[in-house]
Chain A
């Protein structure tokens, strides 16, 4: 069942700017993951953060996790036109091994 809820639902920024997306969830989790989907394609895993971690970096990506607020943020620094995509957060609820995806967040980077 769906758990993650991304915010904002759509974001339009200029190339070179930073893009920040938030994800909220409802139950305790084992981990939270972010995926990217280019138009009409499958999802690609970006980064995973475990419930005992607070921040993680991967290249131009920075993910934070606040389990007390049940929220996560994904920051893409120095955005590029190629970052135009939909971004999904997905949670693994505690005691459940199934990923629950949010509805996605559309990001458009204008060259």
Chain B
């Protein structure tokens, strides 16, 4: 079974802090994704990566950056957290080399920015 883990289930940070959310997958998937989920808005794609050191902007990249130094790890960085970044953050991975297929999600990190 594919396993996607996220570094924290719950996180509380203060405005202006730098926040790191980490995601690790164990299935050697090339593709990894970061989403945020908000009530009434569903899942919105922040960034994704098709390979090590590669990244592409999703639909709402502003205020975020990402890092993919190793294939299994995809980090989401909030350079200076703001209250409007309070949300549920979901990481997902997907096998490459085929038309978009199943994505495997981590358990999510609920981030609160005070």
Contact = CB atoms under 8 A, between A and B. Distances in A.
A14 B32 CA distance: 38
Given A40-B108, A42-B90, A43-B90, A99 B103 contact: yes
A104 B48 CA distance: 22
B55 to A, nearest CB: 14
B44 interface: yes
Listed residue (B40, B88, B102) with the most chain A CB atoms within 10 angstroms of its CB? B102
A97 B108 contact: no
Contacts, number: 55
Interface in B91-114: 92, 99-108, 110
Interface in A15-49: 30-31, 33, 35, 40-45, 48
A37 B90 CA distance: 11
B103 A31 contact: no
B90 to A, nearest CB: 6
Listed residue (A33, A48, A98) with the most chain B CB atoms within 10 angstroms of its CB? A98
Interface in B17-34: none
Nearest to B38: A103
Given A101-B42, A103-B41, A92 B59 contact: no
Contacts of B107: 41-42
A42 B99 contact: no
Interface of A: 1-2, 30-31, 33, 35, 40-45, 48, 88, 92, 97-99, 101-104
6 contacts: A2-B41, A40-B88, A44-B105, A88-B42, A101-B43, A103-B41
Given A42-B106, A98-B48, 12 more contacts: A2-B44, A30-B99, A42-B4, A43-B43, A45-B102, A45-B103, A92-B99, A97-B99, A98-B100, A99-B100, A103-B41, A104-B42
